[in-house]
Structures are given as C-alpha cells and as structure tokens.
Chain A
Amino acid sequence: MTLAALPTTREEDWRYADPAELARLEPAALDGWKEVALPSGEVRCKELMLGEGQGGVHRVRLTVGEGARAELFAVLSADEYTRLEVEVTLAEGAHFELGGVTIGGGDAVREIVTRVTHAAPNATSNQVVRSVHWDTATGNFLGRLMVARDAQKTDAAQSFKGLLLTRGASANAKPELEIFADDVKCAHGAAIGQIDQAAAFYMAARGLPPELARKLLVQAFVADAFVAHREPEALLDAALGALGDAA
C-alpha cells in the first residue's frame, strides 16, 4: 500500500508528531512495514535500540498466533524525529508485551504508537512506556486497543509515565480503547511529572552529586519498562547512555 499523501498532524495517529519533520519524510519510509508472523505457541523477544542515526519512522506489523508470546523492547534515543509504530493482532490465548522508552533532549519528537487488536478470546497484552525528556524535546505514547466482539476474557494493560527534567520538555499520552466484548479487563494509566525533589535532596545528603542522583532516579524510572525482560542491562545502558548530555 502506498499512501496518497504524507500524513499531517490533523490525523489522530500523528497529532503529536513534528509537522516539519513529517513534511520532510519520504513516502517510501511510510511503506516500510516490517511484517512478522509468530506461529502458534512460539515465544519471541526482540530488542530495538533506536539510537544515534536510527531515527525516522519504524513500522512493525505483528501477528501473534494462538498461545504465542511476542515481546518487544525498544529504546528511542536518537536526536532526530523517531517514531516506532507497532500493529499487533492477537489470536486466542496469545500475549503481547511492550516495554518502550523514549529519552533525550534537543528539540526532537520521539514517539511510540501502538494498535493492538485482541481478535480472539483469552489473549493478554501489557504495554509499559516511559518517557524522559529535557530541553524542548517531546515524548509521546499513542496506544490504541481494540477488543473484538468475541474476544472475551481479554486482559490488557497500558501504562505510560513521563519524566520531564527541564521546563520546556513535554510528554503526551493518548490511550484509546475500543471494546466490543463485555467480559474483559482493560487497564490504562498515565502520569507526567518531574524529578522528586525530596528524593534528590535525600540522595545529596548521602553524598551523591546531582548528576549521579538524577541518573539513579532516571534508571529507576525507566526500569519499569524492562521488568519483563530477563536481562535488561543492555536496554538500561542504551537508555541511560542518552542521559549523558542532559543539561
């Protein structure tokens, strides 16, 4: 499928994107869907580190077979517009796990956009996204969840938290739930805040310089996104590496 025109921020799915960056996109970039079909019963875990030079639009379409489990962990830390878009269709008893972090300064927009369809009964999904930004950077999470009419016993959760290190940074959360079944559990939550000053002083009083205290607090904050990962060290390093240049 080729798009007739480039998206604009008038479209719901792109409303928090950077309009100037959208105008610069090549239509070809928008056709580049990576399609992955996970057969029944399989388990697959994928890490995506979208750091230096890895910006732009990344699109993944996942079909998760019966009883299969797909895990995706992503760190968006490039210093240009970066968008990770994930479309997921879950068969009966399948699970989708997303742990995403957007982190960075400058003026870039980094966003994670998901469309998860629970197409059959008993599927579960868990999405945890954490955004840490400074300067005038923006982090977004747009999460759409669709539960089909016969997808009873769906259990879906979405959690977004933004941590803004400086005035001028921003974060946007847009949970969208479309539920056509009547026996389901769909939880979602969003919160945006700043560094806890009481914790920062407590850490300073124990001898931690401000930049080290902040690193520990940011580490604790983003670690939520990698709780389901068995060895989160590389992901944490990728995320915290971006913090080095924070003001």
Chain B
Amino acid sequence: MLKIDNLHATVADRPILTGLTLAVGAGEVHAIMGPNGAGKSTLAYTLGGRPGYEVTGGSVTFEGQDLLALEPHERAAAGLFLGFQYPVEIPGVSNVQFLREALNAQRKARGEEPLSGGEFLKLAREKAALLRMDMDMLKRPVNVGFSGGEKKRAEMVQMGILDPAFAVLDETDSGLDIDALRIVGEGINAIMRQPGKGVLLITHYQRLLDYVQPDRVHILAKGRIVKSGGPELARELEREGYESAVAA
C-alpha cells in the first residue's frame, strides 16, 4: 500500500535520507527504529510533504498514486495521516472546529457529503471516549495548554476522527506515562488494525511495540534501512542497543 523506493531527501541542502527503500502492505504494521539523527522524523515529514524537506531522488507510491506529486492536504485526503512528534498549538481555533473543517475538507476532496455539526460531534465523542479524553478538551484550542501526553492522545483522537487508510506515527509514544502508553497503543490498534489499513510506527523504544505488535521491524541508520526483521528484532535492539545492530 505504501512503497518507498530509493528515497533521497535533503533538509537545508543537507542529505538526510540516502536511498531508503521500504514497502508496507495492507493490513500490516511496520516499526522503524533507529538512533538519534538517523532520519526518522525526516522520513515522516518527507512523506507528509513538509516545506523544506526536499526530495532529491527516488519515489513514493501510495495506493498506486505518486504521493510526492500531491500537496500536503491532498496527501491527507488520499488517506495518509501524519502523527506529529511535537503536535502544534493553534491558539484561537478549537479542536472541534479544526477537526470538523479538516474532515469535511477531506470528504469534499473525495467527493463525499460533509458531516453536519451533530453527526460530527457524535463521531468526535465516540473517538474521544476511545482514547479516554474528556470531550471538554476538544472544545479547547488545538493543543494549547495540553501536557505532552495529552497532545499525543489528542493526536490519536484526531486519527480516529479522520479515519485514515495509512498512518505514519512519529514517536507517538514519547512523553507518555505507562497508563497513557497503553491507552494510546490500544487506540492505534482499534483505529488502524484493520484489513486495508497500514501503519508505519516510528519509535525509539520496545514499549509501544508491546501493545502494537509490528509485523516487521526496520532499523534506520544514516538515512537508509540497514536491517529488517520480525518483532524479535525490536527486542534484540532493546537488549543490545543500536551500535551492534547497525555495525552488523
């Protein structure tokens, strides 16, 4: 469903991704692990189309389309969700308004009817409950005054509401306490563990993978996938660290 082939990308003229190849099939969860500076966040932002992340070679195909030819908002409407490592605060715009506008913009782009206010609130209430988030928080401005953990949970509520076909989750587990980690992990499973959907989980730690079992684990180092394996690879990394795995 997502096919990345020999992807090269630069940030401020510095090469970060140097020939990354990866394919995630429908119904699969893949984890990407790797040391700091390996290019994990750059991969997420490049897939999302963030300005300043320039693709200098290779291709990304998403459900048969050239993902890189789409604008960021078109990628979202095509079914790609980018979970941010640092979700952005937007003072003055409530979560409810933001997400309703976003969902209806996506629906419009796909030629679907917009959801009414009532229909949207029902959906939002359901997804907030899934992540055990108080509905009152969704009436507040986007991420403003949220703790690190609340921001990550709010990201997953957003994902639940937007119901993407594919999610790239950039360190969604960072900043979460143990209970929140479990809730977020269960949320990811409930929303994304479905036939026809795929997930690319970017993480530093094994912990999230205890809740969201990956089908494949990849190690990213110096802008490329240097090693791939099954779930046991993540446990091996946890035990032995990146250095030996990257060197091997």
User: Which chain A residues have a beta carbon within 8 Å of chain B's beta carbons?
Assistant: 196-199, 201-210, 212-213, 216-217, 219-221, 223-224
Contacts and interface: CB of A to CB of B under 8 A. Distances in A.
A176 B71 CA distance: 46
Contact of A207 (B76, B88, B90, B92): B76
B73 A217 contact: no
Contacts of B101: 208, 212, 216
A223 B99 contact: no
A233 to B, nearest CB: 13
A202 B98 CA distance: 11
Contact of B92 (A197, A212, A221): A221
A15 B89 CA distance: 37
A204 B92 contact: no
Nearest to B86: A198
Interface residues of B, number: 32
19 contacts: A199-B88, A199-B89, A201-B72, A203-B102, A204-B71, A204-B72, A205-B75, A205-B84, A206-B76, A206-B99, A206-B102, A207-B105, A207-B109, A208-B73, A208-B102, A208-B105, A209-B105, A220-B141, A224-B92
B93 A220 contact: yes
The binding surface of chain A is classed by DSSP as helix
B48 interface: yes
A192 to B, nearest CB: 17
B73 A202 contact: no
A198 B88 contact: yes
A216 B99 CA distance: 12
Pairs A-B, 5 closest by C-beta atoms: A220-B92, A207-B76, A204-B72, A207-B106, A202-B88
